[in-house]
Structure 1
Amino acid sequence: MDPPILSIDSGSHPTTSPDVCRSKFSNSTMEIRKPFASVTMGEEPFNFLRALCDGVIAGATAGVVVETVLYPIDTIKTRLQVAHGGSKIYWRGLYSGLAGNLAGVLPASAIFVGIYEPTKQKLLRVFPENLSAFAHLTAGAIGGAASSLIRVPTEVVKQRMQTGQFTTAPNAVRLIVAREGIRGLYAGYSSFLLRDLPFDAIQFCIYEQIRIGYKIAARRELNDPENAIIGAFAGAITGAITTPLDVMKTRLMVQGSANQYKGILNCAQTILREEGPAAFLKGIGPRMLWIGIGGSIFFGILERTKLLLSQRHFDLGQKS
């Protein structure tokens, strides 16, 4: 978890002396000239299990709050993306499928951050300091791949309900499996990975790197509003970049047994031929808004939860 002074790794405790802090800051300012923001690792031995457990708790908390607050925007985005030509979208049932989606979001977010945090901390000890961005990119991709096993079925059920195909999550799961088999719950899996692995890697890398650089410039730990603003920026930029991939992923997931598209390439070719290049940017506004606000809430809650857990570990260590 993040210490209260300049050392960026979560391993150290708030007992750093002023002289050490000045020395670390002097070294950190020299690192700004390197290609990527650098990271000073703490001296405490790496505790994989603690990092995993803390990540699971922080990820689950942040994921559930974000999904609950922003679900209506996501519903509008999905309906915009599946609309063909001049079709109108409907505004009823914007929270359709939320309960079932939370049942998947909670473990998926827990798995993602639970894998990301210890992987990131381990890789930061392997990569040179000036290449910390590669540690963040790699950890984000690994966390995304692990959580995709839950995120994809959750996304399929959610988007089918958002587009009015089913009314309840259990009914959706039962009918999808009956009509399409287990594979139906993983419809669009390859397009999901194509979108979400780079999304997770890029978003967390942008967030971590800006946060590290800001810490060095500010010479202090960041507060909750600053973490939230950085998270919003990272989310909005990454969301805009990956919108074309998101459009294809949505089309593949909601087509059901109709099999209008025969895979990612065929989906891209069909959309381009029938609707033109602009169709790949459908829903970009709601997507940027949704992910930008979501990034603000997610990273704000994530950092606050990590800090509370870190302080709890420290207090327990002092008592023992």
Structure 2
Amino acid sequence: MDINTLSASVASSIISRIVCYPLDTIAIQHTSSTRRPIFSVPLRSYYRGVGVSVCMVTPAFALYLCTYRQSKESLLPYLGDTTLNYVASGTVAEISSSLLWTPMEVMKARLQISTTEQEKKLLYNLKQIAQNEGIKGFYRGYAMGLGIFIPYNAVWWSVYENVKKMDAIAGFSLPAQTALSSIAAVTASAGLIHPLDLVKTRYQVATSGTVSDVAHTSVGALRSLDQKGIAQIITNVMAESGKRGFYKGFVPRLCCSVPSSLIMMSVFEYLKPDETAKDESVTGEDFIA
């Protein structure tokens, strides 16, 4: 893990997180069925939890990108610059960084959907989770997260790396290649895993006070049952909206993920270009020879 890769990953994470955080908040509120009219609350409320996100996402994302790049380079002699390498490297990166991602996601989601003054405070949420659920409360959805994001990363990196190598965009500048590859990767992977991500998000916020308040309304009559587990959440989504309910918040999620990914990868590729991509003829046999 070299300092240039680390610095590039940190910079790309912070910039994209700050720019796109309001869009992420809107997407989380849609996904967890706690959304409010966009202009009914002040802009600063859409940045609730941004400090937690930056502090925790930055090291998690730095670990993720550094692990991916290092894994990809380490596997070149065995797998070459191939889709199998991208899948394996993305899997290793996801497993390594998930220990940091999950607690951050739990806290961030609770802050983003909060409506009471207490739930808007980080320390209150930390105490509530610690007292009521213990350490496992910070890892709600951890196993499901791995089940979702391992295939997500496999698709994301496979599409991203292969689109970059397509003849149709080979003559474009690096920023243009990065932008097109990022958009294609996000659209393909998000479309695949959004239903599972929706279930995971609802599970992670199921014990929050905001969800409890929603559960007492006619709109959210089933929400109190979300705490029973993933199978119950799936049943609730079907009862609320049918199959289309599993894609609730998909458009807001794309509106957040596309610019976020574009900014992240553009900054990262600019500060730390992929050395393995300079020679398109690199194969496992080349390294072994």
**TM norm structure 2:** 0.80
Does 1 or 2 have the higher relative contact order (CA < 8 Å, sep 6+)? 2
Equivalent residue, structure 1, for 2:234:
268
Q: Check the 8 A contact 1:58/1:113 in 2, yes or no.
A: no
Q: Check the 8 A contact 1:54/1:309 in 2, yes or no.
A: no
CA pair 68-57 structure 1, distance change in 2 beyond 3 A? same
Cα displacement (A) at 1:308: 10
Q: Does 1:79 align with 2:45?
A: no
In the aligned structure 1, how far is the partner of 2:69 from the partner of 2:274?
16
In the aligned structure 2, how far is the partner of 1:111 from the partner of 1:259?
36
Cα displacement (A) at 1:227: 1.3
CA pair 179-70 structure 1, distance change in 2 beyond 3 A? same
Q: Secondary structure of the equivalent of 2:125? A: helix
Cα displacement (A) at 1:169: 2.5
Q: Which structure has the larger Rg?
A: 1
Equivalent residue, structure 2, for 1:137:
87
Equivalent residue, structure 2, for 1:231:
182
In the aligned structure 2, how far is the partner of 1:216 from the partner of 1:122?
27
In the aligned structure 1, how far is the partner of 2:266 from the partner of 2:234?
36
**TM norm structure 1:** 0.72
Count of equivalent residues: 254
In the aligned structure 2, how far is the partner of 1:261 from the partner of 1:176?
14
In the aligned structure 2, how far is the partner of 1:215 from the partner of 1:120?
24
Cα displacement (A) at 1:109: 0.5
Q: Secondary structure of the equivalent of 1:256? A: coil
List per-residue Cα deviations over 1:118-143 (Å, max 9, x = no partner).
101112221155xx101101111110
**What's the Cα RMSD here?**
2.5
CA pair 222-137 structure 1, distance change in 2 beyond 3 A? farther
**What is the identity, as a one-letter code, of the residue corresponding to 1:189?**
Y
CA pair 72-58 structure 1, distance change in 2 beyond 3 A? same
Equivalent residue, structure 2, for 1:104:
56
Equivalent residue, structure 2, for 1:307:
273
Cα displacement (A) at 1:150: 0.7
Q: Which runs of 5+ in 2 are unaligned?
A: 209-223, 277-289
In the aligned structure 2, how far is the partner of 1:71 from the partner of 1:58?
20
- Give 1:81-230 correspondences, 5 Å limit: 81-83=31-33, 88-89=36-37, 91-92=40-41, 93-128=45-80, 132-164=82-114, 166-214=119-167, 217-218=170-171, 222-230=173-181
Identity %: 26
Q: Check the 8 A contact 2:164/2:170 in 1, yes or no.
A: no
**What is the identity, as a one-letter code, of the residue corresponding to 1:210?**
V
Cα displacement (A) at 1:216: 8.4
Higher helix share: 2
In the aligned structure 1, how far is the partner of 2:235 from the partner of 2:169?
46
Q: Check the 8 A contact 1:101/1:158 in 2, yes or no.
A: yes
Equivalent residue, structure 1, for 2:197:
246
Cα displacement (A) at 1:199: 1.5
Candidates 242, 253, 259, aligned match of 1:287 = 253
Q: Which runs of 5+ in 1 are unaligned?
A: 1-48, 311-320
